[in-house]
Structure 1
């Protein structure tokens, strides 16, 4: 049986410990478009409107124009109610930004929002839960600018384009 010098094993272990670890590659997201926000607006943000304000952003948070966004009936993705391409506009904050579209909501309606390549069929995308405007009345804004009342509620929806 061959005997190794006692220090040889320690040197080998120390050299292995000093070697830099290889970075783990970031896994590719499962979907091209990921929902990063679905939020009902506060009374002072909404001011009595009944809309779904959608924004599509890239990985750096910049708005992306030209993307089909679809509003369909909740529970029936094939029943498309409206479709629009993202563009530089905004009817909520009144500050035009890239990557925006706005959809209306109406009494008793329940809607889903998704991204599409053809304006009809869902792409590799998350789909919102059912959105509606049938919430109980909330206090108006202190400045008298309206608020959230029955059938007058709005949502902010943000999708991130992953690739």
Structure 2
């Protein structure tokens, strides 16, 4: 007799499933607290004294409509607050030699090209071909500790005149505004 051979019987083998895990819900975190920095007032520092008693703060050639054909150096001396200072000597000298004094004038209340009377003003004429310097003196003889504005001259080529016909800047007809600040 033949003995039957056993055969495997097909069965469904279950596929393993992933076991769910608990996912924690994020909790808000706080930024670490920092200790407040100690506030300390800065130690006051001494303001350095300017090297010159009179500093040059402006030296500019007037535009054609400010100048209107003149040939002057308009000088003003102001204090630290911008107020005009009367009674100081402005010296006009040759640009090449501060000791060659050509003219000197005391600052006072004047009305010049700005069309407004202001303290601390004076002016000098300029002539063709010459170059000048201007500085401040306390006594009209000795130069103070002062910057010098130079070179100042009227030797510029012609520019367009003002649209209102009031003149402008032409050869030998140019002017400058020069402002000194009294530091101490």
TM-score by length of 2: 0.78
- More deviation in 131-140 or 82-91? 82-91
Unaligned runs of 5+ in 1: 1-13
Q: Find the aligned partners of 2:161 and 2:57 in 1 and give their Cα distance.
A: 28
SS of aligned partner of 1:18 = coil
Partner of 1:73: 94
Partner of 1:139: 160
Question: Which 4+ runs in 1 deviate beyond 2 A?
Answer: 14-19
Partner of 1:85: 106
Partner of 2:16: none
Q: Deviations over 1:1-56 (max 9, x none)?
A: xxxxxxxxxxxxx8995322112221111111000000000000000000000000
Rg larger in structure: 2
Partner of 2:78: 57
Partner of 1:127: 148
1:18 pairs with 2:72: no
1:42 pairs with 2:73: no
Using the TM superposition, give the Cα deviation of residue 121 of structure 1 relative to its aligned residue in structure 2, in angstroms: 2.4
Partner of 1:108: 129
Unaligned runs of 5+ in 2: 1-34
1:94 pairs with 2:128: no
Instruction: Answer 1 or 2: which has greater helix percent.
Output: 1
Number of residues of Structure 1 aligned to a counterpart in Structure 2: 150
Q: Find the aligned partners of 2:82 and 2:88 in 1 and give their Cα distance.
A: 15
Partner of 1:11: none
Q: Find the aligned partners of 2:97 and 2:37 in 1 and give their Cα distance.
A: 58
Over the aligned positions, Cα root-mean-square deviation in angstroms equals 1.5
Q: Find the aligned partners of 1:123 and 1:15 in 2 and give their Cα distance.
A: 53
1:144-155 correspondence to structure 2 within 5 Å: 144-155=165-176
Using the TM superposition, give the Cα deviation of residue 80 of structure 1 relative to its aligned residue in structure 2, in angstroms: 0.6
